[in-house]
């Protein structure tokens, strides 16, 4: 049996805790954070909290009292202990506004749910390469909350279904201006002549934690700008990044196959700098 943490208390995950009047269910008034845990530690935890606090501020929502990194890690360790003492897991922290009302909430206090799913790997692995594609009718609109990790994800559900039909591992998404935006689960970086290029936030991509970390570490070495779709086939490598998988690389896109030299290098750097491996 799997367990979750609901507003600071542990319950079986099948227990019905949210009423149908909850704003997450009625309006998608909710945002979330996905994290990875290796050996009961969460890399980039401060980055995750910074993004959550920023998101709450943008949404005019109020963080739960005494909810900080120390208390969160204590809750994670307690939850891990009742979930078969799991050490390596994907963590999902989901916030929802507690208030009622119609579109306008009558209370901006946030409630939360923490869940975890065991994973087998104990470090970042860039994998064996992905087969990816792109459809011209699958694009992400650019608007004032495009960069947030909100749970209004119906479009992503459709994108994932389309990718499955085409037997793609992932799909590259354009924005409403027909520029490269992101992938379904990840931010995107191109490698050209050993230089990293990524769409800027104005392109509508999610402000990913791993993206932010890489930009801060390689300050001045990563170019953020608008990216045209033709550049995908001109690149030496296409790399996907997110906080759970770390670095993944594209092996095949359309008729082209890609190398993974930079992806392997970045993965080793993550394991060294964030996990202390290979030192």
Same topology between domain 3-118 and domain 130-275: no
Q: What is the pLDDT of residue 219?
A: 83
**What number does CATH give the domain 130-275?**
3.20.10.10
Contact 108, 99 (CB under 8 A): yes
Token pair of 153, please? 């994800």
Q: Which 3 state secondary structure label does DSSP give 131?
A: strand
Q: Rounded CA gap, 237 and 232, in Å?
A: 9
Q: Report the CATH architecture of 3-118.
A: 2-Layer Sandwich (3.30)
Q: Rounded CA gap, 112 and 93, in Å?
A: 7
**Sequential pLDDT tens for the chain (279 residues):** 899 999 999 999 998 898 888 999 899 999 999 999 999 999 999 999 999 999 999 999 999 988 999 999 999 999 999 999 899 999 999 999 998 999 999 999 999 999 999 999 999 999 999 999 999 888 898 988 889 988 888 889 999 999 999 999 999 999 999 999 999 999 999 999 989 999 999 999 999 999 999 999 998 899 999 999 999 999 999 999 999 999 999 999 999 999 999 999 999 999 999 999 875
3-state helix, strand, coil in the chain (%, to 5): 30, 30, 40
List C-alpha distances in Å: 101 to 26, 29, 43, 96, 169: 10, 12, 38, 14, 40
Q: Rounded CA gap, 264 and 267, in Å?
A: 5
Q: What is the pLDDT of residue 150?
A: 84
Q: At what angle do helices 45-58 and 69-82 cross, to 10 degrees?
A: 110
Token pair of 42, please? 């969460």
């Amino acid at each position: 049996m799997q367990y979750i943490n609901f507003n600071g208390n542990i319950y079986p995950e099948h227990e019905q805790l949210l009423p149908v009047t909850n704003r997450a269910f009625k309006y998608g008034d909710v945002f979330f954070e996905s994290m990875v845990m290796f050996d009961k530690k969460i890399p980039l935890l401060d980055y995750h909290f910074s993004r959550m606090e920023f998101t709450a501020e943008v949404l005019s929502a109020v963080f739960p009292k005494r909810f900080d990194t120390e208390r969160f890690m204590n809750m994670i360790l307690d939850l891990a202990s009742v979930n078969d003492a799991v050490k390596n897991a994907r963590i999902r922290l989901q916030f929802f506004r507690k208030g009622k009302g119609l579109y306008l909430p009558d209370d901006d206090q946030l409630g939360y749910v923490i869940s975890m799913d065991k994973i087998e790997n104990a470090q970042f692995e860039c994998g064996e390469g992905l087969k990816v594609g792109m459809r011209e009718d699958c694009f992400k609109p650019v608007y004032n909350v495009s960069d947030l990790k909100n749970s209004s994800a119906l479009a992503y559900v459709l994108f994932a279904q389309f990718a499955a039909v085409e037997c793609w591992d992932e799909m590259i998404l354009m924005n409403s201006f027909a520029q490269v935006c992101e992938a379904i689960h990840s931010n995107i970086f191109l490698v050209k002549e050993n230089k990293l290029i990524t769409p800027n936030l104005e392109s509508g991509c999610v402000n990913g934690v791993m993206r932010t970390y890489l930009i801060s570490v390689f300050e001045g070495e990563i170019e953020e700008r608008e990216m045209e779709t033709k550049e995908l086939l001109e690149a030496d490598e296409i790399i996907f990044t997110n906080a759970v998988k770390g670095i993944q690389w594209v092996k095949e896109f359309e008729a082209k196959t890609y190398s993974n030299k930079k992806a392997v290098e970045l993965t080793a750097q993550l394991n060294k700098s964030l996990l202390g491996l290979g030192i």
